[in-house]
Structures are given as C-alpha cells and as structure tokens.
C-alpha cells in the first residue's frame, strides 16, 4: 500500500482549457505529497502504441508554467479507436493489445486518463482487458459527461462565448443588425444556454428545444417595434434546420457540425428583412487562458485522482457533485448522456428573462 508508485497520465479526445492544470495538479501532488514518479504519455493512447512507448517523466518545475495555458502539452487525439484503428491500407485493426503492452512495458502502477465520455469508455475497455489500474477525469467543453455537474473546459468555453456576445452587442446596435453566434457543444446546448444568459442574448437556440423560424422573426420584429432594432442570437452547432436536417462541414470521414448560423442568417433576412451577420466561434472556445474556475476544478480533480490511486480505488471517475469532488465507477459515470434539461432551472431562467428559445412558449416579458 505504501510502496513508491509510478503513475502515468494521458489526455484523450478534443483538447480544452484546464488539461494542463490537471497534469500539473497530478504531478505536484504525486511528487510533493507522496514522492511518486509521474510519466506523461504522448498523444493519448497513441503514445502507448509506439515502441518504445512515448512518455516522459514529469517534474514539478516543468509542469508549473502550464497552469494557465489551454491545450495539452502532452498532445491528444480524437481519432483512432484502438479497437478499430485505421491502417494505412484502409483496413481497420484491433491494436488494443499494443496499448496494454505499452502500459506494462512502462512498469506503471496506475494510469490517469483525462477524457470525455467516448475516450473514457475506450480507456475503460482497455483497462478491463489489460489489467490497467485506471482512474478517469472528465473533460469536455460540451459538459455532457453523465454524472458530473461540471467537466473541465466548459467554464472557459462559456467565458469565451460570453465575451463574444458582449463584444457583438455594440456593433449590432450601431448597425441595427441581427448578430448570430454559432457555438460548439455537439449534441448538448449547455454552452449556448449558459453564454446566452450571461451575455444577454435575445434568442437562444439549443438542440434540446425545437424552434420555429416564425417565432424567432416575431421576437426580432417585436424588439424592432419597441425601438430595439438589433438582436443577438446564439445557436448551438447541433441545432437542425427547421425541417430537421443536421448541418455538417466537409465531406471527409470526420464530418464536423457547422453551418446552422449561416442557415439562420439567410432565413431571418428572407422572412424579416433584417440585416444579419454570422460569427462562428469554433475552436476559439477551446483556446487561450483557462478560467480560474476551470483551474480550480482541474486542481481538485487532479489531487482527488491521486488520492484514489493512493487508496488503490480503480475503475473510478472523479466527479463534481454537490459542491465537492466525489468519485463513481466509470461505467456509471458515463452511462447517461447529460443534455440540457428543457424544463430545468436555466431554461426557466432564460424564459423568465424574456429570452426567446424559438419554441411556441411565449414569455410575457418583453426582451
Ligand atoms: O467535443 C468537443 C468539441 O469541441 C465539440 O464541441 C465539437 O463539435 C468538436 O469537438 C470539434 O471537433 P474537432 O476538434 O475534431 O474539430
């Protein structure tokens, strides 16, 4: 139980703010408090697939400067499921055993995997198959990992989207325009809903609530009739066209969501005559300096993950619940997808502020 441990850490899936802060917290706590060794694995599980495994021993003075920086200095990937890994000849191969061997070649006692629900499901499958002592930490700007109330990266993304709305108010008002801001979040509308409320949007469109274009245009016109001749619309990337089509960018295997902002702009101009402009925030939502809240969450999760390893409690994911860090079995943590609750507090808040959500429920409040 008290033997000096050698632990590995990797980041998997899309990057986000706060990842480096987790790596730093794990490294500091493991070295300074327990005197363990920490090994940073390159590019998610790809580092364990390489021979020799691509990993570096981490030191406190090396990780400290990364506290504020988003991205991950270990590198990551959201491609290449090890159980169906795309090979150069176009075939798919099961490379899971190479990753498991890589972990054992490094002589690790435990592995901390930082990822969203998809990455954590893959890491868990590898852990079960290969006797890997895994602890998971949830990260994603989408904030859609089942049980945890917060995932690393979400707060920074909301800050960036809110700041964009703050900036757009002035130019929208100056030119009497409808400004449409398209944000990420995949199938969940958390970023749009949170930033929309914080940034004073007039219309918030999320995948969890169906909209009608006529309701959006009515809101814009009502505002115009009250002399408020500009409007701010924030829309999640997975919101469909009115007829239910999901818009994607590119024609490659890795199709990405995008295009709903432009679609809405054209329709709104057509139906209301309003001049529209579109801002697609894209990957800016994952960049820059991490928010203090993400750094705090990352630090708390990192320390808690080390504590789980000390207690040899594996196959667990750390969570933020009821104002503190807890842990639950990974399988349970990722079982449910966390979408926006269409009758939850924040939706009620938006309606209470008179924000139009595009559906038929009309607020009595003028926005
Ligand atoms: O899951 C995080 C996320 O940023 C989504 O919000 C977005 O749809 C997607 O990743 C973008 O992926 P990529 O970095 O591959 O373009």
Minimal-distance CA residue to ligand 1 atom 8? 186
Give start-end residues of each CATH 3.40.50.450 domain in the chain: 6-152+290-333
Residue 272 CB less than 6 A away from ligand 1: no
> What's the CA gap between 199 and 317, in Å, rounded?
32
Residue 357's pLDDT band, with cuts at 50, 70 and 90, is: very high
Cα 142 to averaged position of ligand 1 atoms, centre (Å)? 9
- Residue 157 CA, ligand 1 centroid: distance in Å: 12
Q: What is the pLDDT of residue 3?
A: 82
142 is catalytic: yes
**How many whole angstroms separate alpha carbon 43 and alpha carbon 240?**
33
pLDDT value at 151 more than 70? yes
Report whether the peptide linkage leading into residue 52 is cis, meaning its omega lies within 30 degrees of zero: yes
Q: Can you tell me the distance from the alpha carbon of 1 to that of 269, in angstroms, rounded to the nearest whole number?
A: 67
Contact 182 CB / ligand 1 (< 6 Å): no
Rounded distance from Cα 29 to ligand 1 centre (Å)? 30
- For the cut 60, the answer to whether the pLDDT of residue 252 exceeds it is no
- Report the atom number in ligand 1 closest to the C-alpha of 116: 1
Ligand 1 pocket member 185 (CB < 6 A)? yes
pLDDT at residue number 20: 98
Structure tokens at 361: 């429920």
What is the atom index within ligand 1 of the atom nearest the CA of 285?
A: 4
Q: Is the CB of 140 under 6 A from ligand 1?
A: yes
Ligand 1 centroid from CA 187, angstroms? 11
Number of residues assigned to the chain: 367
Choose the catalytic residue: 15, 117, 142, 144: 142
Mean pLDDT of the chain: 96
In this structure, what is the dihedral angle of CA atoms 245, 251, 256, 262, given to the nearest 10 degrees? -60
- Tell me the C-alpha distance between 312 and 153, whole Å: 27
Query: What are the backbone angles phi and psi of residue 301, rounded to the nearest 5°?
Result: -65, -40
Residues 20-45 have pLDDT tens digits of 999 999 999 999 999 999 999 999 99
- Per-residue pLDDT tens digits for 107-147: 999 999 999 999 999 999 999 999 999 999 999 999 999 89
Mutate to test the pocket of ligand 1, among 184, 284, 338 (most ligand atoms within 8 A of CB): 184
Q: What is the largest CA-CA distance in the chain?
A: 73
Probe residue for ligand 1, chosen from 14, 239, 282 as the CB with the greatest number of ligand atoms within 8 Å: 14
Percent of the chain with pLDDT over 70: 97
Report which protein residue has its CA nearest ligand 1's atom 16.
256
Q: Determine which of 91-95, 254-258, 271-275 has the lowest per-residue pLDDT on average.
A: 254-258
Question: Is residue 153 in contact with ligand 1, taking CB distance under 6 Å?
Answer: no
Q: What is the mean pLDDT of residues 79-92?
A: 93
What is the distance in A from the centroid of ligand 1 to the CA of 185? 7
pLDDT band at 250 (very low <50, low <70, confident <90, very high): confident
Q: Which residues contact 25 (CB under 8 A, 6 or more apart)?
A: 298, 299, 300, 301, 302, 303
Mean pLDDT of 174-203: 98
Which pLDDT score, from 0 to 100, does residue 255 have?
A: 75
pLDDT confidence of residue 363? 66
Average pLDDT over every residue of 263-276 = 98
The confidence score (pLDDT) of residue 253 equals: 57
pLDDT at 2: 64
Q: Are 339 and 189 within 8 A, CB to CB?
A: yes
List where CATH 3.40.50.460 sits in the chain. Answer: 157-287+341-352
Q: CATH homologous superfamily for 157-287+341-352?
A: Phosphofructokinase domain (3.40.50.460)
Is 141 touching ligand 1 by the criterion CB < 6 Å?
Answer: yes
* Reported CATH class of domain 6-152+290-333: alpha beta
Pull the structure tokens for residue 210. 């169906």
Q: Is 78 in the pocket of ligand 1 (CB under 6 A)?
A: yes
Site to substitute for ligand 1 among 13, 207, 253, 256, most atoms within 8 A of C-beta: 256
Q: What confidence tens digit (pLDDT) does each residue in 164-177 have?
A: 999 999 999 999 99
């Amino acid at each position: 139980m008290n033997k000096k441990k050698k632990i590995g850490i990797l980041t998997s899936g899309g990057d986000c703010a706060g990842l480096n802060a987790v790596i730093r917290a794990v490294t500091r706590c493991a070295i300074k408090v327990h005197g363990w060794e920490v090994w940073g694995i390159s590019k998610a599980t790809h580092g364990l697939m390489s021979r020799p495994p691509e990993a570096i021993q981490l030191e406190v003075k090396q990780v400290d400067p990364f506290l504020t920086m988003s991205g991950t200095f270990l590198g990551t990937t959201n491609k290449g499921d090890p159980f169906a890994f795309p090979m150069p000849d176009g075939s798919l191969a099961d490379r899971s055993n190479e990753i498991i061997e890589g972990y054992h070649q490094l002589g690790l006692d435990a592995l901390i995997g930082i990822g969203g629900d998809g990455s954590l499901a893959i890491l868990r499958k590898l852990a079960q198959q290969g006797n890997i002592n895994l602890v998971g930490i949830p990260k994603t700007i989408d904030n859609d990992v089942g049980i945890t109330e917060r995932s690393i990266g979400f707060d920074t993304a909301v800050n960036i989207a809110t700041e964009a709305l703050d900036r757009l108010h002035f130019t929208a008002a100056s030119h009497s325009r409808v400004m449409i801001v398209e944000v990420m979040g995949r199938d969940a509308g958390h970023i749009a809903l949170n930033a929309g409320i914080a940034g004073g949007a007039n219309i918030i469109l999320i995948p969890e609530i169906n909209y009608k274009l006529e309701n959006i245009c009515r809101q814009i016109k009502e505002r115009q009739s009250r002399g408020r001749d500009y409007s701010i619309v924030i829309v999640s990337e997975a919101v469909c066209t009115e007829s239910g089509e999901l818009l994607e960018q590119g024609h490659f295997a890795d199709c990405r969501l995008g295009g709903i902002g432009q679609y809405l702009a054209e329709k709104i101009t057509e139906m209301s005559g309003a001049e529209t402009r579109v801002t697609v925030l894209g990957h800016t939502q994952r960049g820059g300096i991490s928010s203090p809240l993400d750094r705090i969450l990352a630090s708390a999760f990192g320390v808690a993950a080390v504590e789980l390893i000390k207690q040899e409690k594996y196959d667990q994911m750390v969570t933020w619940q009821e104002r503190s860090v807890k842990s639950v079995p990974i399988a349970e943590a990722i079982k449910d997808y966390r979408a926006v609750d269409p009758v939850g507090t924040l939706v009620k808040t938006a309606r209470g502020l008179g924000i139009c959500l595009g559906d038929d429920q009309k607020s009595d409040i003028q926005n």
